[in-house]
Amino acid sequence: MNKYKLICEYDGTGFSGWQAQKNAKSVQGAIIDAAGKFLGAPAEVQGAGRTDAGVHALGQVAHLETARKINPEALRIGINDLLPASINILSVQSAHPRFHARHSAISRSYLYLIAKRRTALAKKYVWWIKDDLDIGRMRQALAVFQGFHDFASFADKRMDKNASTQVDVEDVVLQEFPNLIVIRVAGSHFLWKMVRRIVGMAVEAGRANLRTGDLEQMLHDHSDIPARHTAPPSGLYLEKVLYEGDKLPDIQPPVFLR
C-alpha cells in the first residue's frame, strides 16, 4: 500500500462534521468519494481529529492509503477537481508507511474568531457579539484553563463515558485586532465541544458575569454552566495539527475583518 499525507482546508457550514457518517454529509466522506473516483480504486482516508458540525479547518491533516502509486501533486489536483468548492486539498506528499495522521500528531491548535462589528461577508465564519467585552477579564479567564485539568464540565454529555476528561492545554492566547478577537487554544487533544465552551466562558467573563474563581470551581466540580454558554460552531477553526519539529504560525486575522 502507498501512503500520502494530505493537508486540507474546508468550510464546515452544511457538513455534519469531519467524520464519515451514514446518511449525513461529511468532509471525510467527500474526500473518500473523490479519491476513489479519481484513483479508480478504494482509498482509505483517516483524519488527525474530528471537527463538529459547522466547524471549519485551516489545516486539517489526513493520511490516504491506496494500492495505486501516483505523483503527489497529480493526486492533489485530481482529488480537488472532484471535491465541492467548500473543501480544498492544500498539499499532498508521500508519507512514511508508519505515519498516522492522528497517532503521529503531538499537538493541535484551534482558533476562535469573535467579530466586534456586524459583518455581511463573514457571518458564517465568526461569532458576532454586540456587547463591549472586557479583554482583560477574558485573558484572566483563559489563563485558568492553561495546564493539565479535568475538563468534565466542558465536555458534551454524549461523549464516551469511559473516555478520560483530563486534558493538557499547552497554550491559550487572546489577540485583539481592530474588528476581531482571536482566541487560540493549543493542546495534545480536545474533548467534544470543549474549545467552544472554553470560549463561551471567556465571553461570559468578558461580560463581567463570571469570575476566575467560578471557572476554577468548574474545573474541580461538575457544572452544567459551560454547556449553557457553548459558543456557536461558526467561529471555530482547526488551525494546525503539529508533528515533531512543527511550530505554530503567527496569528493573522482574515482579510475581510482587518
Q: Which residues are catalytic?
A: 52
Pairing of strands 2-10, 166-177: unpaired
Pairing of strands 127-128, 107-115: parallel
Nearby residues of 5 by Cβ (< 8 Å), 6 or more positions away: 61, 62, 63, 92, 93, 94, 95, 99, 101
- Find, among 245, 247, 109, the residue nearest to 188 by Cα: 109
Could you give the CA distance from residue 101 to residue 48 in angstroms, rounded to a whole number?
Answer: 5
